[in-house]
Amino acid sequence: MNRLKNDCYLRALLKQPIDYTPIWIMRQAGRYLPEYRTTRSISGSFLSLCKSPELSSEITLQPLRRFPLDAAILFSDILTIPDAMGLGLYFKSGEGPKFSNPISCIADIKKIGVPDPEHELQYVMNAIRQTCKELKNALPLIGFSGSPWTLATYMVEGGTSKKFTKIKKMMYREPIATHLLLNKLANSIIEYLNAQIKAGVHSVIIFDTWGGILTTNDYESFSLAYMKKIINNLIHENNGTRIPITLFTKNSGIWLEKIAETGCDSIALDWTIPISDAKYRVGRKVALQGNMDPSILYAKPERIREEVETILKNFGYTNSGGHVFNLGHGIHSDVEPESVRIFIETVHKISPKYHRST
């Protein structure tokens, strides 16, 4: 893997000396950008965007043409694996993702297999290869997957859910079936992320969007244990370059110490915990990513700048990396791009004073 022109994001995740705090934004390639909406309008469907390597790469690169971001994240969807398993993913306007063939019993679970990432999911790998070619080693490319628990919630519920009654009913009534599903998903994610790394991504994130709906014991058993299994089986170095791994569980503030013990390099935080508290609790064991409330981007420029300063101050001075600035979740679709520009430029302008030279 050739040396990147800007590797600040990777150095921050690996707690190496940096001159400023790097920044990228969850869902930075998406609906808040008019150029995305234009591309989406001519594509036919959201899935057609994800399954076209050319369009996926184009959308991945769109925010980089506007903003001085420190990393690109592949434009894709966390539900690519369930779709490749034959569950029939589709998107209904105003209702989010749905599955034609949801999981309802252990017989359904036994029927699904582990997708071959260079066959059923080759379009993702081709999008990575195309994007790496276009990036020309300018910035790192982030790959990702949903967590086993989060994917399972969609597969059993048949789509998005507010109460998660179906997956919890399966978890409590049929724990053996639930663990069979989660283990099969973990194996699929291992294959999927390792293929992404071989295709060229420089770092990976596991998005555990719905881990926070569980009790502490159930989180450890049905979510965290499987993310740890994935980490233990991922490629940690490719072509002599370390591949940092980030975990993100929404509403995970009470479990930070346990997450830090998984072997991940970084924990992504939502906005419900002060970053100073998180840093105190995990120390230098892992880097931290986050954690501004996405809704701050609705504010006036001075309020955005104030929040950036507060988070940087709360993380504190450091003679090395350990912090990647980000939102605490995905950017809202109706945010003005100008507010995003102010946000990114403020991080780059203010953060150098918080980094001491070694």
Catalytically annotated residues: 27, 31, 40, 77, 154
Confirm whether residue 154 is marked as ligand binding: yes
Annotated binding-site residue? 341: no
So where are the chain's domains? Answer: 8-354
Is 348 among the annotated ligand-binding positions?
no
pLDDT for res 164: 97
Would you say 265 is a known binding-site residue? no
Burial class (CB in 10 A: 0-12, 13-18, 19+), 285: middle
For 89, other C-beta atoms within 10 Å of its C-beta total: 24
The residue among 293, 299, 292 whose CA lies nearest residue 336 is 299
Question: What pLDDT shows up at residue 239?
Answer: 87
Q: For residues 286-298, b (16+ Cβ closer than 10 Å) or e, as one string?
A: bbbbbbbbbebbe
Return the pLDDT at 351: 97
C-alpha span between 193 and 187 (Å, rounded): 10
Tokens of 287: 């880097």
Please name the helix (run of DSSP H) or strand (run of DSSP E) that holds residue 305, with its range, or none: helix 301-315
Per-residue pLDDT of the chain (358 residues; tens, 9 = 90+): 578 999 999 999 999 999 999 999 999 999 999 999 999 998 888 999 999 999 999 999 999 999 999 999 999 999 999 999 999 999 877 778 999 999 999 999 999 999 999 999 999 999 999 999 999 999 999 999 999 999 999 999 999 999 999 999 999 999 999 999 999 999 999 999 999 999 999 999 999 999 999 999 999 999 999 999 999 999 999 988 999 999 999 999 999 999 999 999 999 999 999 999 999 999 999 999 999 999 999 999 999 999 999 999 999 998 788 999 999 999 999 999 999 999 999 999 999 999 975 4
User: Measuring CA to CA, which residue among 303, 296, 305 is closest to residue 327?
Assistant: 296
329 carries a ligand binding annotation: yes
Q: Burial code of 1-12, b = ≥16 C-beta within 10 A, e = fewer?
A: eeebebbbbbbb
Q: Are 259 and 224 in contact (CB under 8 A)?
A: yes
What's the pLDDT score for residue 42? 87
Burial letters for 37-62: b for 16+ Cβ neighbours within 10 Å, e otherwise? eebbeebeeebebbbbbebbbbbbbb
28 assigned ligand-binding residue: yes
Compute the Cα dihedral for 69, 10, 357, 278 and give only its sign: positive
Give pLDDT, residue 358: 44
Q: Report the CATH number of the 8-354 domain.
A: 3.20.20.210
For residue 1, the model assigns a pLDDT of 55
